[in-house]
Amino acid sequence: MDDNTFWALIEDSRQQSGNPDERLEALREQLARRAPTEIVAFQACLHRVRQPVDTWDMWCAAELILDGRCSDDGFWYFQFWVIGLGRAAFDRAAAEPDSLADVPEIRRLAGRRMDDWRDDEWPDAESLDYVAGEAFDLATGEEDGFEGALEAAGLDLPCSPEPDDAEWDVTDAGEVARRLPRLSRMFPPAPRSGGVSGRP
């Protein structure tokens, strides 16, 4: 599956509904109508297109939005959420993480307590990583056959963030403001102690 086909599937499901669960259901149904090899290829493509947002700047953006509570898993799910925004927004965010300040879904969260966020507002799309496996089960009737299909295709996909760009101190408020000026204003970082460098 090439990138254009992958993004067409993402965009089509996004147009189906404003509800994340309904979008995933639409995507699952589309994938289940495809050949098993294409469903496996979708999963491979998902992880290939994800790589440009697996960076320290993007992790810091997630940290700001999530009020300093973005774990490894949280950032992993955040990356899939950025994919779910569609190709244009994804490409802008990959090139400049601070452009997430322009995304309506992010703007709606600014200035609000996280306790007040609805479940469907959270910048988290964990289920996008599972949708191909669910579609594979529907298409083949083989429960739990997806992992075997990935292995047969020679795919050993990651399961956690692995930024390979230059690591920096994401607790340095001045550096955060320099790299992500708009998000820093929208989601002022909470004061921290200890000055631990690197991974949130």
DSSP per-residue codes, 80-135: HHHHHT-HHHHHHHHH-GGGGGG-HHHHTTTTS-GGG--GGGSS--GGGGTHHHHH
Neighbours of 56 (CB within 10 A): 21
Residues 144, 20, 27, 100: is their CA dihedral positive or negative?
A: negative
In a domain, 191, yes or no: no
* Confidence category of residue 144, pLDDT binned at 50, 70, 90: confident
Instruction: Specify the length of the chain in residues.
Output: 200
Best CA proximity match to 139, nearest among 25, 28, 32: 32
Best CA proximity match to 9, nearest among 42, 44, 51: 42
Mean pLDDT for 120-126 is 96
* Confidence category of residue 10, pLDDT binned at 50, 70, 90: very high
In a domain, 28, yes or no: yes
Indicate the pTM of the whole model.
0.92
DSSP 8-class letter at 52: G
In a domain, 12, yes or no: yes
In a domain, 199, yes or no: no
In a domain, 48, yes or no: yes
* Confidence category of residue 33, pLDDT binned at 50, 70, 90: very high
Mean pLDDT for 48-64 is 96
* Confidence category of residue 198, pLDDT binned at 50, 70, 90: very low
In a domain, 80, yes or no: yes
User: Which backbone phi and psi does 160 adopt, to 5 degrees?
Assistant: -160, 160
Query: Is residue 50 over pLDDT 60?
Result: yes
Residue 115, domain extent: 3-186
Domain count, the chain: 1
In a domain, 196, yes or no: no
Neighbours of 126 (CB within 10 A): 14
- Per the listing, tokens 């898993």 go with 73
Q: What does the mean pLDDT of the chain come to?
A: 92
- Per the listing, tokens 């579609």 go with 135
What does the pLDDT look like over 145-189, one tens digit per residue?
999 999 999 999 989 999 999 999 888 899 999 999 999 999 997
With b meaning 16 or more CB within 10 Å and e meaning fewer, what string describes 78-91? Answer: bbbbbbbbebebbb
What does the pLDDT look like over 131-141, one tens digit per residue?
999 999 999 99
In a domain, 130, yes or no: yes
Query: Is residue 96 over pLDDT 80?
Result: yes
